[in-house]
Structure 1
Amino acid sequence: MTISVIDSASSMARVLDAPPGERVDLVRQMWAPMAGMYHFAPGGVDMATMHRQNFGFDWEKPTDRIREGLDALIAADAWTRIARALDDGVTALKSAAPGTAVCDLNVLLVLGDPTDKHFLDEAQGLSGFGGISGYIALTVWPTPRVLDRLEAIAIHELHHNVRYSPGGIVWDPMTVTVGEHVVSEGLADVFAAELHGEAGYTHFVSEETRTDDTVLAKVTTGLDVIGMQNFAAWVLGDPTARLLGATPVGLPMGAGYAAGARIVQAYLETTGSTAAQNVRTPAADILRTALPELGFTPAEGD
């Protein structure tokens, strides 16, 4: 398999240096290798719109702050580090789960919009997506915490990508459950921690949320909710739900990640296995084993 980390440093520099009327097409060119992520959309999508929806930087107002952000990523050798981390992550997954196929990957790293309050303050400069086979999109703002976690951020998304690639778990937006999403985030975080220690855990989830039993208990009440249009509040928390116009359920930022990590850790401790080994283990199997260990009763479908 081939991992192609796109040279978006050069692409972003071209966008920032171009005359205003040329920038939008340069953004589309930067995102063009990722078009296959949206193969399900009839007639395709406007990749400049996708850039915006992924919290991408504002190409219409290329401020000095954005240029400084690009310089920070370049100085941190972000692209090389991500490529190396993904190579290591693939090796770890193949070693732990022999026979697991890993698809060719296109990986795009772009700067986020530092004026977006939700992205910068609540998501703490991170928006990642790796759930569609063959593609990983990372939108970041280079805070010290983000720069420290670049490798872990990348392999978190790699775990998702392998989980939902052909031969793995099928993600049907209409029938998938909150339980699957929560378990997948827990597996991805714990996998990143297996390779990178505490830096593996998604940083927009507070330590209080990670250890709060009431958060865990609340998330378990939503595990059987169906349809990914309902997931924002249960997995990312009320701040993201409000941003997307969804109904809050009384959970803090990243609640599903915190609950997922605890569920997965309980499963791994009981089975003596690793997150790498369980990259394609059905969520129902994990929940059926883990929930009683945590003091909860699995639903009939788990």
Structure 2
Amino acid sequence: MKSNWIPTNDYYGRLLTEPDVAKREQLYLDLFIRPWQQMMNMMQRPGMDSNDSFAGAKTWGWLLPHQTEQIAALLQKMEHANAWEIGEAAAAKAAARFAPYADRFNFDTFEGWLVLADPAFFANDPQPGYTGATDWFAPRYIGQFWEPDERNLPHLAGLVAHEMHHLVRFRVFPFNPQTTTVAEYIVLEGMAESFAAELFGEEVVGYYVTQFDDTMLDAAKSLIANGLHKTGFNVIRSYIFGDELAVQSGYEPLGGMPTYGGYAVGYHVVQAFLQRTGMSAAEATFVSADEIVAQSQFFA
């Protein structure tokens, strides 16, 4: 398996050196929007102007081509931290780990992106300055930073591995908003984070695991234990993301689910499974969620 690391820092440099507004906007559309257009068309929020060429970028909170001062400031911070070099090396290492399983996929290259996001858009977001996502239509993933600092930049390699792992797991066990279960979703997230930790150490494990205390974990574990086989996208999101984000997003909170509870529980489930079986996270990628939950004995 190969990694194609997109030089988005060079893309931003091209934007910043283009004085003509119309040409800068066209560059942005060609370099950033066009590759993600199909995914963006699915993710736009209700009420957004369908004729707005930048609607998808606005939905995701990306810095836009007119925000040159913010782009320049964030770009400088990220480049000073060698973010693109770290991301590229992490992407290559993560892709190589799946080389023995290449015959199980209908693609041979993972495509990785880093994008600068707007701090104002994420002003009320609980995430500490960064997030990630995958493309549902292509083997492509993305990391977004809006407040790069000493808290989150050390997690960059883990972010890359986590999102890349989703691309593999989705090909083996396709995600379906109607039929995917809570168990499948927590294992999806827990396996991705375990893969990152296996490659780069526990120091890259995300805040959604490390900032969970025992009381929060017990509360999340109790709720998830009784909902493992529930389905429905909004239902499983309540288990994964917790009450606060459920209220913000307009779906029903469970009552007592901590923020990102499903991520934390999923990580501990997968870690228990790996310890009991001796499998690597890469090997366990091809094991069903029900088997992982059962063999982990986490809920026993």
Scaled by the length of structure 2, the TM-score of the pair is 0.83
* Separation in structure 2 between the aligned mates of residue 267 and residue 146 of structure 1, nearest angstrom: 28
Greater shift in the superposed pair: 137-146 or 184-193: 137-146
Cα distance 1:246–1:50, how it changes in 2: closer, same or farther (>3 A)? same
Cα distance 1:282–1:159, how it changes in 2: closer, same or farther (>3 A)? same
1:300 equivalent in structure 2: none
* Separation in structure 2 between the aligned mates of residue 204 and residue 21 of structure 1, nearest angstrom: 41
Matched AA of 2:34 = A
Unaligned residue ranges in structure 1 (runs of 5+): 297-302
* Separation in structure 1 between the aligned mates of residue 161 and residue 84 of structure 2, nearest angstrom: 13
Scaled by the length of structure 1, the TM-score of the pair is 0.83
Of 276, 286, 295, which aligns to 1:289? Answer: 295
Unaligned residue ranges in structure 2 (runs of 5+): 44-49
Q: CA deviation at 1:257?
A: 0.9
* Separation in structure 2 between the aligned mates of residue 281 and residue 18 of structure 1, nearest angstrom: 53
Matched AA of 1:215 = A
Cα distance 1:218–1:76, how it changes in 2: closer, same or farther (>3 A)? same
Q: CA deviation at 1:205?
A: 4.1
1:158 equivalent in structure 2: 164
Cα distance 1:282–1:64, how it changes in 2: closer, same or farther (>3 A)? same
Cα distance 1:47–1:231, how it changes in 2: closer, same or farther (>3 A)? farther
Question: Does structure 2 conserve the Cα–Cα contact (< 8 Å) formed by 1:89 and 1:155?
Answer: yes
Matched AA of 1:180 = E
Q: Secondary structure at the match of 1:118?
A: coil
Question: Does structure 2 conserve the Cα–Cα contact (< 8 Å) formed by 1:54 and 1:127?
Answer: no
Which deviations, in whole Å up to 9, do the C-alpha atoms of 1:111-134 show, x marking residues without a partner?
Answer: 122122234xx1111221126341
Matched AA of 1:71 = Q
Q: CA deviation at 1:10?
A: 2.9
* Separation in structure 2 between the aligned mates of residue 24 and residue 80 of structure 1, nearest angstrom: 27
Of 165, 173, 177, which aligns to 2:177? Answer: 173
2:193 equivalent in structure 1: 189
* Separation in structure 1 between the aligned mates of residue 243 and residue 20 of structure 2, nearest angstrom: 39
2:226 is equivalent to residue 224 of structure 1:
no
Cα distance 1:91–1:6, how it changes in 2: closer, same or farther (>3 A)? closer
Matched AA of 2:7 = D
**Number of corresponding residues:** 286
Question: Does structure 1 conserve the Cα–Cα contact (< 8 Å) formed by 2:2 and 2:92?
Answer: no
Matched AA of 1:32 = R
2:33 equivalent in structure 1: 31
Matched AA of 1:55 = G
* Separation in structure 2 between the aligned mates of residue 240 and residue 21 of structure 1, nearest angstrom: 38
Cα distance 1:46–1:34, how it changes in 2: closer, same or farther (>3 A)? farther
Q: Secondary structure at the match of 1:174?
A: coil
Q: CA deviation at 1:222?
A: 2.7
Question: Does structure 2 conserve the Cα–Cα contact (< 8 Å) formed by 1:266 and 1:294?
Answer: yes
1:127 equivalent in structure 2: 131
* Separation in structure 1 between the aligned mates of residue 94 and residue 29 of structure 2, nearest angstrom: 29
Q: CA deviation at 1:2?
A: 4.1
